[in-house]
Amino acid sequence: MRVLLISDGNDNGGNGSALRRAISRHTDWQVRHVRRRPSFIGYEKDLEWPRKTPAPRALLEFWRGADVAILLGGFRVAQALPGYDQKPKVMYHLGQSFRDNAEPYRARCRSEGIPQLVTTFDLLGYGPDLAWLPMVCDVDRMELERRAYRPGSRPRVMQTPAARGPNQTDQFVEAMRGVEGIDVALVEGVPLDVALRHKAQADILFDSFDPWYGLSAIEAMGMGIPVVAGTGSDEIAGRIQETLGTIPFIPATPETVREVMERLARDRTLRDRFKMIGHEVVQRFHAEERVVERLAPFIGQARSAR
């Protein structure tokens, strides 16, 4: 089987490159990934199709023989390819781009018979036609990065935001201002390889106050680092609990995060507990082979609809 992954922009969150790697490692499918442009984060490159340029020959050749296309975040790139209407498709809705356009995206997917997947638990609240596909984690790599960990004299709390605004970095920094007995570090504006090396030295990872856990949290849990994050409403927390069988991180709000961090810094037993919980969740749900297993039935659904 030939699978083409299509990112509308710069491969938001590295989801396209991560899925390509997972599929190529754990199936005998042929798989390619195309994005519009690179990102400073340095996600792995396969095919690129810059705006206002002709489609690359390699992309057109693979597209013609592709059995299914997985659209990551939108329709713009895919619909510019010849024969778009005849190609089986799966939509993987990504974060804020879907939150801003949920109803139009859902309506178009329904009209075209496209199965719809989402990255995070809050997105499931936009409709019953959505299913959760966990973001991919290369667990072996995370464990390898963690081997370089060296404990410091004080617990290290870290955040590695791709952008400050969406990750509420300023709120976090203000809440932690003047805290004693804890080293607080921000790692931002650096490529993924550098961010992971820094992250591997953390004792506690702060994700964000948003009502879900994101890729940074998943990477940290894959390393066996306890994570602090937001859960939002009881409804979202309930979805996480029902699906995973646990809440794999320590919940916090802007008002409680300082107290939560101070408690974790004092309580090694609590840190160790969430190291194990988070790592188990990543192995069971976010590991490459687990994500591919979850994806396969939706590919089958898309192909059988044609």
Task: Report d(CA 295, CA 148) in Å as an integer.
Answer: 33
Pairing of strands 116-118, 227-229: unpaired
Residue-wise pLDDT tens digits, 59-86:
999 999 999 999 999 999 999 999 999 9
In this structure, which topology does domain 139-286 adopt according to CATH? Rossmann fold (3.40.50)
Structure tokens given for 251: 């919940």
Residue-wise pLDDT tens digits, 84-130:
999 999 999 998 889 999 999 999 999 999 999 999 999 999 999 99
Written as one string, the DSSP assignment of 160-204 is: --SSTTTTTHHHHHHHHTT-SS-EEEE--SS-HHHHHHHHTT-SE
Cα 25 to its chain centre, rounded Å, is: 19
Task: Report d(CA 233, CA 82) in Å as an integer.
Answer: 43
Q: Which CATH number fits domain 2-135+288-304: 3.30.1490.20, 3.20.20.150, 3.40.50.11010, 3.30.70.360?
A: 3.40.50.11010
> Which pLDDT value is given to residue 172?
93
Fold match between 2-135+288-304 and 139-286?
A: yes
pLDDT exceeds 80 at position 306: no
The sheet carrying 116-118 orders its strands as: 47-48, 30-35, 2-7, 68-72, 89-93, 116-118, 130-132
Residue-wise pLDDT tens digits, 202-232:
999 999 998 778 999 999 999 999 999 987 7
Cα 44 to its chain centre, rounded Å, is: 15
Sign for the CA dihedral angle at 149, 244, 161, 136 comes to: positive
Structure tokens given for 203: 């004792």
The residue extents of the domains of the chain are 2-135+288-304, 139-286
Kindly state the percentage of the chain with pLDDT values over 70. 100
Residue-wise pLDDT tens digits, 217-274:
999 999 999 999 987 788 999 999 999 999 999 999 999 999 999 999 999 999 999 9
Q: Euclidean distance between the first and final Cα of the chain, in Å?
A: 15
